Structure 1
Amino acid sequence: MTALDDKINERFPGLVVRKDLVKAVKGNAIVPTYVLEYLLGQYCATNDEASIQSGIETVREILRKHYVHRNEAGLIKSNIREKGRWKIIDRISVALNDKSDAYEASFANLGISKVLIDSGTVKTHPKLLVGGVWCIADIEYDYTEDKNVTPWILGSMKPIQLSQFDYDAYLEARKTFTTDEWIDLLFQTVGFNPDMFGRRSKLIQLMRLIPFVERNYNLIELGPKGTGKSHIFSEFSPHGILVSGGEVTVPKLFVNNSSGKIGLVGYWDVVALDEFAGKQKKVDKALVDILKNYMANKTFSRGVEPLGAEASMVFVGNTKHTVPYMLKNTDLFDELPDKYYDSAFIDRLHTYIPGWEVGVIRGEMFSDGYGFVVDYLAEILRHLRNDDYSDRYRAHFDLSPDISTRDRDGVHKTFSGFMKLLFPHGDVTPDEIEEVLRLALEGRKRVKDQLMRIDTTYPEVDFSFTRKGGEKVKVATLEETEFPSFYYRRAQESDGPGQAGIETVGMPSTGNDRSSLTPKADTLATAKPEGPSEGHFTFAENQKGVTFDGLFGPYLAGAQKITITDPYVRAFYQIRNVMELVETIAKTQSPADEVDVHLITCLDGIRPEKQEENLSAIASSCDGAGIRFTWEFDETNTIHARHIVTDTGWKIALDRGLDIFQQYEMNDAFSFSNRLQQFRSVKAFEIIYLKSKGI
């Protein structure tokens, strides 16, 4: 139990659950997370360990007795026949039998169909007609000689979703959390450990929730396999549905003209198309045309009659190539099927989530902390779809007048969605508004910049905003910052993204960074090719290509004495960072020179003997390499600044010390990120280079 977990339980009693319990009870049940958490919320919504263990056993017993496994359907049917009545958990779908003028239910796992269901239940739960709904139901058995009458009778049925909630209490509780605490609560709710991710990574993944709070929001996420792109849309909410992109047809998605049956967009808040990428996939051109019209106008046609819907559209798929490869050879929409590789379709996307920034999900990334019972949060998010927060930046910022109406709509919807997720209570600072606005601009800019590669008729757009007072800020995507030589293929003759006198988010800056969210600098090797010089540089979270060789090599070359001051060199990975810096020093020195490297740090109060052992190992490795490595502990424990000082006059101030890399597979000898720093994602950090006068 962390302090945050205690606070979550205190502010939301009975509405939160420990997230690792889902795995504990799931077993081999192929059932969505929100179904399991519905049950856990009934019996385990507490922080009392004894009650939790008792609740887990109860939920396991419910699943054992009542969840229908397909391979045990025969046994369940037998139980119903022998006992006359049995409670089951199954996915139920309903169809209208127009010959008998009756609604008939089908049970996915139990394998029975044509079970009569009253029209009142269908009207109350219309999603039964499209895609089906997970329910707890009582099934009865009454055999008759009439072959046209099914013996199965639906006694009662209750969809597995929250029946009511107190929205005002939700807002009041939100006021008691800091922004960081609230982000971590939401992040734990979707199942991930916030300690394993940086702020930008958390917000990028939480962006997947925006379709649940914004009507008619069009989102695409493309990235490597295994990054959890489809998880939220398949298991997070009973108001969203995930379908395979290859299985989508006009009747299934929009309307069946022969029967008049409305498709998925008419019943679900979010319709996500999985496995959307793939150049060779066959796609119905008519589907693409109707989809483009729906994404732009929120309507689709049924013959001559236009119909409206509010479903947000999400497209998720895998990429085969690296980002620099795509930027050099094609574009970031390269993997789309041919019919979707269409500028009119792409222009209707409000944002593009950079799936390559998320990273492959590993076991240790999952949370064992507390988060909302997902069904509760799903109802809150659905309630927020009625609100519009898109204008809440205007008291402090103005968007560039160069941004078109469609681009502005994309930015506004993303901004509004983020504000609903993070600040539903309305208490937000200008810096926090700017943080969200930058990410909203970046997401739409990623779409538009790629459009300019695909279709030359699209003009360049100034994605910037102005702070009240006149300071203009241009926004850049992270890949624009990392790979400028590939990114600006269309306008190589221009002066680049920056202009004199304008702060450019994505390029080297000597000013203060107002946000940890948005890229601010290229790697040093690109920013300072002429050699070591004074300057202040800010690096963006998730940026790659940053190495100690590039950051420090030119400044340490020729030094005979180097002093490293960092109070936090205790854990193994921190000491390994020191070793990698020593390796950089070894690469820069002349074989005929010797270098003294001295570390000033603080003693590890938990495992000092292990700290000494690891530092001694570095010293031993330096023997014979012309490096004398020594260290001392600051007994006063008063040092806070982190810096490197050389006898050649350079001082390198580091706000994070050497701890600039995000967690990576340190124990995997065959991992590129383990062996080569340029393949690691960095945390957001700043570095200042100062030269002593007269040296």
Structure 2
Amino acid sequence: MNALDTKINAAFPGLVVRKDLVKAVKGNAIVPTYVLEYLLGQYCATSDEASIQSGIETVKEILRKHYVHRNEAGLVRSNVREKGRYKVIDKISVALNDKNDAYEAEFANLGIKKVVVDSGTVKSHPKLLVAGVWCIADVEYEHTEDKAVSPWILGTLKPIQLSHFDYEAYLKARQEFTTDEWIDLLIQSIGFDPEMFGKRSKLIQLMRLIPFVERNYNLIELGPKGTGKSHIYSEFSPHGILISGGEVTVPKLFVNNQSGKLGLVGYWDVVAFDEFAGRQKRVDKSLVDIMKNYMANKTFSRGVETLGAEASMVFVGNTKHNVPYMLKHTDLFEELPEKYYDSAFIDRLHAYIPGWEVDVIRGEMFSDGYGFVVDYLAEILRHLRSDDYSDRYKDLFRLSSDISTRDRDGINKTFSGLMKILFPGGGASQEETEELLRLSIEGRKRVKDQLMRIDTTYPDIDFSYFAVGDRKIAVTTLEEDEYPTYYRRRAAAQQEGQAESQEEVVSGNSVPSASKAESVLPDAREGHRVFSENQKGVSFDLLFGPYVRGARKITLTDPYIRLFYQVRNLMEFIETVVKHKAPEDEVDIHLVTARDDLKADQQKANLLSIEESCLGSGVNFSWEFDGTGTIHARHIVTDKGWKISLDRGLDIFQHYEMNDAFSLSNRLQQFRSAKGFEVTYMRLG
């Protein structure tokens, strides 16, 4: 275990589990993660390896004996009959048989129906009436000659979810972690390795949890396939349900006026719509109207009666086009079904998660570290739903008066959710509070800016806030910084078919898109540039090309050219120099770095390989280890009089698939997500 895992086990004994164990026990059991972790939490919530291995075998044995596979349902039914009573793990739903005036259960995998359930069980677990609940249940078999009576009897039933927890102990343990440690614990809890994500990417992942901790929170995430958009809503919590966007009806979601039966919003904390995107999808307009009313007012009608509910609504779907295409030709909501492509519906969304900033999930991203048993964290988040943290920035910051009430509500609910997740007991610094406030404003701004493109009657809004001393701070979205020309187009310009007349310019945080990189390289000039985390379109060509052009000698000082990916960055820098020098010229590139005490031989071998590969290329590569062992600054100096100061050196890219020869992010830097970094260009002499 690393230091964080040791700390996690000490602070939350018996409440955390090693996250790679789920794969170890799952086999071919098609069950949600929270079901498996519920069992792992009973037997493997420890750091003792022997106990873990014993617990794994116990959980496997429980699954082998009691989890019902559909193709083995006949065998399990036989076991129930022969033994008279048998324990099963299955998804159980209950319906009222009004002819017999009795509740009857149906077992999804076991394949039995009309199992009589007493009304007390239904009252204790009302979710059984809607969509079903994973349970551990004792099923009995008692044959009778009366064909009208089912031989199946439900003995005991226990939903798979935590029965109790100590919230005060949770708050006390939270104080033992720094903010970064706590974020990493939460990222590991949802199954990911925090080392594979930057700070912004981690916060975006955690934004997906806000619907579990905030009542009536309306969230949308659209982005490429395979980024794990729906995973949390199907696997993370017994209080959320994921349904296909095409399966939604008014009776299923809200109320059946004929039977009076409440729909999903009456029983679940979170209702998520999977595969929500699709322009041509058929949608019932009456459903959209009821949805809009519920999202705005938290109520819906059952005949003459008006009912309230607390379920948060989440909409996740895939986009077909990349961000610059959508910004140039349509908008970021282009994939919504036609009847949902409606300004009144969109305006009720509190935040838009930029799904295109989330990497496609790869095997290396999953964690083998310790995280909360997800059921425990799910109960903590549910407990926090009754609290309101939306005012916790108001002593430090105030929103612009230009921000409307609906925009303000969206910002406040997102901020409240993030504060509950990260700082449930308070204690956020001014900088941490500001970071969450900016992210909350950005989430709502993304909704409103696109809404203004769709409906020209919406006025421009100044999404800014004021710090102490009335210092005004404007908030922009990352895609606004990357593609300013396309982002700020309004619907009127699109309708009139106005052509783009302005080229993208390298200015501030913005960089040219990959397709224009070659044609718009800027002239070399002094200045300072700041790049945001997850920004794309960044490359060594754009950063260094104009400054190394014509140089005969270049010295790179970077103490962190040690690991393989760092040496690869060095090789790509050399490629940039080769591309920008004249064929007849030669360039001397000299590296000053620090020795890797752990893998010095491998580091030396890699640098010698680069030296050899440069032979005959017009580049003479040399290197040395700093003898003082004190270098920290990272910079590039050329004999053309330029010094480029790099706060991260060449290490500006987030993790990407380096072994996939067919990945564009592997072949072209412009397709990689950047880390947050700064560059300063200075003239010497």
Shorter-chain TM-score range: over 0.9
> Aligned equivalents of 1:92 and 1:242: distance in 2?
16
SS in 2 for 1:54: helix
CA contact (8 A) 1:566 1:642 kept: yes
1:449 matched to which residue of 2? 449
Question: Residues of 1 paired with 2:159 and 2:581: CA distance?
Answer: 70
- The C-alpha deviation readout for 1:598-644, integer Å capped at 9, x for no partner, is 00001122222222222122222222222111000013321111111
Measured after TM superposition, the shift of residue 522 of structure 1 is: 4.5
Question: SS in structure 2 opposite 1:78?
Answer: helix
Q: Check the 8 A contact 2:456/2:492 in 1, yes or no.
A: no
Deviations for 1:335-386, whole angstroms, at most 9, x for unmatched residues?
1110000000000000000111101000010010000001100000000001
CA distance in 2, matches of 1:523, 1:325: 14
Matched, 1:640 2:632: yes
Q: Classify the secondary structure of the residue corresponding to 1:92.
A: strand
CA contact (8 A) 1:650 1:691 kept: yes
**Deviation of the 1:523 alpha carbon:** 6.0
User: How big is each residue's C-alpha offset from its partner over 1:33-72, in whole Å with a ceiling of 9 and x where there is no partner?
Assistant: 1010000000000000000000000000000000001111
SS at match of 1:472: strand
> Could you say which residue in structure 2 is the equivalent of 1:497?
none
Distance 1:470 1:523 in 2: 34
Describe the shift of the 1:491–1:556 C-alpha distance in structure 2 as closer, same or farther (beyond 3 A). Answer: farther
Length-normalised TM-score, structure 1: 0.95
CA distance in 2, matches of 1:376, 1:308: 27
Aligned runs of 1:112-261 on 2, under 5 Å?
112-261=112-261
Kindly state the Cα deviation for residue 576 of structure 1 after the two structures are TM-superposed.
1.1
Which deviations, in whole Å up to 9, do the C-alpha atoms of 1:124-147 show, x marking residues without a partner? 110000111111111111101011
Q: Could you say which residue in structure 1 is the equivalent of 2:577?
A: 585
SS at match of 2:611: helix
**What are the equivalent positions in structure 2 for 1:485-496 lying under 5 Å apart?**
485-490=485-490
Matched, 1:77 2:69: no
Contact 1:521/1:537 (8 A) holds in 2:
no
| Deviations, residues 1-24 of structure 1 (Å, cap 9, x unaligned) | 111000000000000000000000
Contact kept, 8 Å, 1:508 with 1:538, in 2: the verdict is no
Runs of 4+ in 1 over 3 A off after TM superposition: 506-509, 520-526
Q: Which residue does the alignment assign to 1:663?
A: 655
Q: Percent identity?
A: 76
| 2:390 counterpart residue number | 390
Aligned amino acid, residue 674 of structure 1: N
Determine if contact 2:17/2:41 at 8 Å carries over to the other structure: yes
Structure 1 residues 625-673: Cα deviation after superposition (integer angstroms, max 9, x where no partner): 2211100001332111111111222111111100101111212222111
Match of 1:515 in 2: none
Aligned position for 2:498: none
Amino acid of the structure 1 residue aligned with 2:192: F
Q: Map Cα deviations across residues 518-556 of structure 1 (whole Å, 9 max, x no partner).
A: xx5546999x97522221211111111001011011111
Residue in structure 1 matched with residue 482 of structure 2 by the alignment? 482
Distance in 1, matches of 2:320 and 2:464, equals 32
Displacement of 1:590 after TM fit? Answer: 2.2
The Cα shift of 1:507 comes to: 10
Q: Distance in 1 between the 2:294 and 2:521 partners?
A: 49
Q: How does 1:539-558 map to 2 (within 5 A)?
A: 539-558=531-550
- Say how many residue pairs are matched: 671
Distance change in 2, residues 1:577/1:409 (3 Å):
same
| Counterpart code for 2:684 | S
> Aligned pair 1:692/2:684, yes or no?
yes
- What residue number does 1:517 align with? none
Is this contact kept in 1: 2:522–2:546, CA < 8 A?
no
Letter in 1 for 2:115: V
After TM superposition, give the deviation of residue 232 of structure 1 in Å.
0.3
Determine the C-alpha separation between the residues in 2 that align with 1:405 and 1:140.
57
619, 625, 644: which is aligned to 2:617? 625
**Structure 1 residues without counterparts, runs of 5 or longer:** 494-505, 510-519
Q: Residue 19 of structure 1 corresponds to which residue in structure 2?
A: 19
Worse-superposed segment, 608-617 or 638-647: 608-617
The one-letter code matched in structure 2 to 1:43 is Y
Question: Partners in 2 of 1:373 and 1:613 — Cα distance?
Answer: 44
**Aligned pair in 2 of structure 1 residues 148, 491: CA closer, same or farther (>3 Å)?**
closer
User: In the alignment, which residue of structure 2 is the partner of 1:369?
Assistant: 369
Residues 523, 539 of structure 1: 8 Å contact kept: no
1:477, CA displacement in angstroms? Answer: 0.7
1:620 and 1:111 mapped to 2: Cα distance?
67
Residue type of the alignment partner of 1:411:
I
| Mapped contact 1:521–1:540 kept (Cα < 8 A) | no
In structure 2, how many angstroms separate the alpha carbons of the residues matched to 1:637 and 1:545?
Answer: 35
Preserved contact between residue 343 and residue 455 of structure 2 (Cα < 8 Å) = yes
Instruction: Determine the C-alpha separation between the residues in 2 that align with 1:489 and 1:402.
Output: 21
C-alpha RMSD of the superposition = 1.7
Cα distance per residue 1:64-109 (max 9 Å; x no partner): 0000011111100100111111000011111111111111111111
Checking the alignment, whether the CA contact within 8 Å between 2:455 and 2:491 is kept in structure 1 is no
Aligned pairs for 1:5-16 (under 5 A) are 5-16=5-16
Aligned to 2:298: 298
CA contact (8 A) 1:565 1:641 kept: yes
- Whole-angstrom CA distance in 1 between matches of 2:534 and 2:95: 48
Residue aligned with 2:443, SS? helix
Q: Does 1:109 align with 2:109?
A: yes
The 5 Å alignment of 1:233-382 reads 233-382=233-382
Letter in 1 for 2:592: I
**Cα distance in 2 between the residues matched to 1:567 and 1:529:** 28
TM-aligned CA deviation for residue 491 of structure 1: 8.9
Distance in 2 (alpha carbons) for counterparts of 1:508 and 1:521: 6
- Indicate conservation of the 8 Å contact 2:551/2:638, yes or no: yes
Q: Which residue of 2 aligns with 1:603?
A: 595
In structure 2, distance between residues paired with 1:538 and 1:179: 24
C-alpha contact (below 8 Å) 2:220/2:353 kept by paired residues: yes
Q: Output the CA distance in 2 between the equivalents of 1:450 and 1:285.
A: 22
SS in 2 for 1:599: strand
- Asked if 1:472 corresponds to 2:472, the answer is yes
| Distance in 2 between residues matched to 1:650 and 1:395, nearest whole Å | 45
Mean CA deviation greater in 219-228 or 662-671? 662-671
Counterpart residue identity of residue 617, structure 1? S
Distance, in Å, in 2 between the alignment partners of 1:558 and 1:276 is 53
Is the CA contact 1:481–1:507 (under 8 Å) kept in the aligned structure 2?
no
Give 1:592 shift: 3.0
In the alignment, which residue of structure 2 is the partner of 1:402?
402
Q: Is the 8 A contact 2:454 2:491 kept in 1?
A: no
Distance 1:491 1:315 in 2: 24
Partner SS state of residue 387, structure 1: coil
SS of the residue corresponding to residue 353 of structure 1 reads strand
Amino acid at match of 1:296: A
1:620 aligns to what SS in structure 2? helix
Partner of 1:677: 669
Q: Which amino acid aligns with 2:235?
A: E
- Aligned partner of 1:49: which letter? E
Name the SS of the counterpart of 1:663 in structure 2.
coil
How far apart are the structure 2 equivalents of 1:649 and 1:377? Answer: 56
